[in-house]
Amino acid sequence: MIDFAPQLDEVLSTEICGSVVETVGMTASVADLPVPLGAIVEIDRDNGGRIPAEVVGFRDQLTLVYPLRSMTGVRRGHRVRLHRTASRIPVGEALLGRVINAEGRVIDGYGQPTAEERLARERRAPSPVERPRIDTPLSTGIRAIDGLLTCGRGQRMGIFSGSGVGKSVTLGMMAKYTSADVIVIGLVGERGREVNEFLERDLGPRGRARSVVVVATSDEPALARVHAASTATSIAEYFRDRGKDVLLLMDSLTRVAMAQREIGLAAGEPPTTRGYPPSVFAMLPKLVERAGRTARGSITGFYSVLVEGDDANEPISDAVRGLLDGHTWLSRKLASQGHYPAIDVLDSISRLMPEVASPEQRQAATIVRELLAAYRDHEDLISIGAYRAGSNPTVDIALAMRDDIAQFLRQQVDEACQMETTQQALMALAHRTAAVSQQAAQVVAPAETTAT
């Protein structure tokens, strides 16, 4: 079927135009511009240039547009014309190894690659009845996740933490060591200097070779930051539709929500919880539901969530937890102890682990979790020396196995770990636990006999 959308956009753009009536903050009100929501327009400037903008709402007889660049030089009466009715981005295999902006343009200085086709940035999620069951594990290369929080191909997971706890480093390890065919990374709202640091230090040549990196830094307009998340998802969909298993890493979903908050408030939406307008909570499920498994391929999504004030119940964290298939919590306490990746296994969950992990692995993971929970429950007594050995057999075993478990959960940034190796190490840990438990039982038995 022939796609006439580009030709239609060209015809319409020559006929539909309006004029700027006023600007308030980052929003311009335009008269006589009958175009739909989401349409891309261009605003004339005195210097002859044009500013791309998107229609974000309507008020009375006016059309509200939000620019993708600074509105410096725009004045009342300037012409606004329709550019196209929907945003489309160039996609193709040539994007692998490249860094692009929210509009799909390459920004790494190596020239624009040839696009195989152009896709709409905003697309519908796959139909629920067309989604196959998720039953195949995906290796992330991180022992704590692959062993105790095993994820499936097509699963959506959150990485929750406060600032400075190691989210970017954890995502970089996944990009380097995952078994996925293609990695798509969305860096949204990052500081400018952090982008190159992530590319060179965290991602490295090995991860970058099979990755597409979409960047919208914190100084870019809110619309560009929101677009970056959709652009990254569309590129992931392109590779999924060609039979690839894609790993989508989004850093961070919180900054996407904050950008949508700016747009919503500028368009006149009422603020609700902590100032977030309703459009934020409508946007989040539309974005994350686009990931997942189809009959052709899969998108496994890891979305980092910046928890404000380390409050796990703040609005965005609370909303995202209900949308995803599990979450990984990075602990500031573990990070302060030099334990990296700082994954708090007890506060984390993978809802699809029962579907993708073997019964033996699940049993071994349960043993480790029980020991971690027993140690945490008695940690205060242990730290002050008030715990008496023998009063709780499970705690005794947890104390004996603590160093072994910590060694399993810790991992150097440059240490790759295959799924099979992780599973073998976890089984060995469970076997050592059984041996320690048996030794403890043999020690207790003679003592009870003597007492009798």
Each residue's pLDDT tens digit, 65-75 = 999 888 888 88
CA 71 to chain CA mean position, Å: 30
Q: Which two tokens stand for residue 424?
A: 């073998």
149-192 per-position pLDDT tens digit: 999 999 999 999 988 888 888 998 999 999 999 999 999 998 88
Write down how long the chain is: 452
DSSP string, 196-229: HHIIIIIIHHHHHTTEEEEEEETTS-HHHHHHHH
What's the confidence (pLDDT) of residue 8? Answer: 53
Dihedrals φ, ψ of 433, to 5°? -65, -45
What's the confidence (pLDDT) of residue 424? Answer: 96
What's the confidence (pLDDT) of residue 447? Answer: 47
- pLDDT beyond 80 at 2: no
Between β-strands 27-31 and 17-24, what pairing exists: parallel, antiparallel or unpaired?
antiparallel
Q: Enumerate the domain spans of the chain.
A: 5-85, 89-356, 360-451
- pLDDT beyond 80 at 440: no
What's the confidence (pLDDT) of residue 1? Answer: 46
When pLDDT is cut at 50, 70 and 90, the band that residue 3 belongs to is low
- pLDDT beyond 90 at 233: yes
Q: How many CB atoms lie within 10 A of CB 390?
A: 12
Q: Cβ contacts of residue 253 below 8 Å, gap of 6+?
A: 158, 229, 284, 287, 288, 303, 304, 305, 316, 320
- pLDDT beyond 70 at 6: no
322-362 per-position pLDDT tens digit: 999 999 999 999 999 999 999 999 999 999 999 999 999 99
What's the confidence (pLDDT) of residue 214? Answer: 97
What's the confidence (pLDDT) of residue 279? Answer: 94
When pLDDT is cut at 50, 70 and 90, the band that residue 408 belongs to is very high
- pLDDT beyond 90 at 448: no
Domain 89-356 indexed as CATH 3.40.50.12240: yes
Q: Cβ contacts of residue 227 below 8 Å, gap of 6+?
A: 68, 87, 102, 103, 121, 216
Q: Which two tokens stand for residue 269?
A: 């939406």
CA 390 to chain CA mean position, Å: 45
What's the confidence (pLDDT) of residue 131? Answer: 93
- Class for the domain spanning 5-85: mainly beta
Q: Are 352 and 326 in contact (CB under 8 A)?
A: yes
Q: Cβ contacts of residue 71 below 8 Å, gap of 6+?
A: 23, 26, 28, 43, 51
Of 17-26, 283-292, 308-317, 392-401, the one with minimum mean pLDDT is 308-317
Q: Which two tokens stand for residue 258?
A: 């904050």
* C-alpha dist (Å) from residue 416 to 71, 91, 141: 47, 30, 6
What's the confidence (pLDDT) of residue 14? Answer: 57
What's the confidence (pLDDT) of residue 49? Answer: 84
Dihedrals φ, ψ of 204, to 5°? 70, 170
Domain 360-451 indexed as CATH 1.20.1270.330: yes
Residue 28, classified by CB atoms within 10 Å of its CB into exposed (0-12), middle (13-18) or buried (19+), is buried
Give kind and range of the element (H or E) at residue 194.
helix 192-197
Residue showing tokens 């949308």: 323
DSSP string, 285-315: HHHHTT-EE-SS-EEEEEEEEE-GGG-TTSH
- What value does the mean pLDDT take over residues 239-243? 96
Q: Rounded CA gap, 244 and 238, in Å?
A: 9
250-296 per-position pLDDT tens digit: 998 999 999 999 999 988 899 988 889 999 999 999 999 999 999 99
Region at 189 (left for phi over 0; alpha for psi -120 to 50; beta for the rest)? left
Q: Rounded CA gap, 22 and 320, in Å?
A: 36
CA angle 364–133–227, rounded 5-degree value? 105
When pLDDT is cut at 50, 70 and 90, the band that residue 10 belongs to is low
CA 50 to chain CA mean position, Å: 33
Q: Are 44 and 71 in contact (CB under 8 A)?
A: no
Q: Rounded CA gap, 383 and 372, in Å?
A: 15
What's the confidence (pLDDT) of residue 273? Answer: 82
Q: Which two tokens stand for residue 165?
A: 């706890």
Using a pLDDT cut of 90, give the percent of the chain over it.
69
Using a pLDDT cut of 70, give the percent of the chain over it.
94
Q: Whole-prediction pTM value? A: 0.90
Q: Rounded CA gap, 444 and 397, in Å?
A: 13
CA angle 28–225–261, rounded 5-degree value? 65
- What value does the mean pLDDT take over residues 24-40? 91
Q: Are 299 and 156 in contact (CB under 8 A)?
A: no
Q: Rounded CA gap, 162 and 306, in Å?
A: 6
Q: Are 223 and 231 in contact (CB under 8 A)?
A: no
Q: Rounded CA gap, 300 and 292, in Å?
A: 6
Between β-strands 245-251 and 182-190, what pairing exists: parallel, antiparallel or unpaired?
parallel
Q: Which two tokens stand for residue 4?
A: 């006439």
Cis peptide before 341 (omega within 30 of 0): yes
Q: Which of 137, 149, 173, 158 is nearest to 346 (CA)?
A: 149
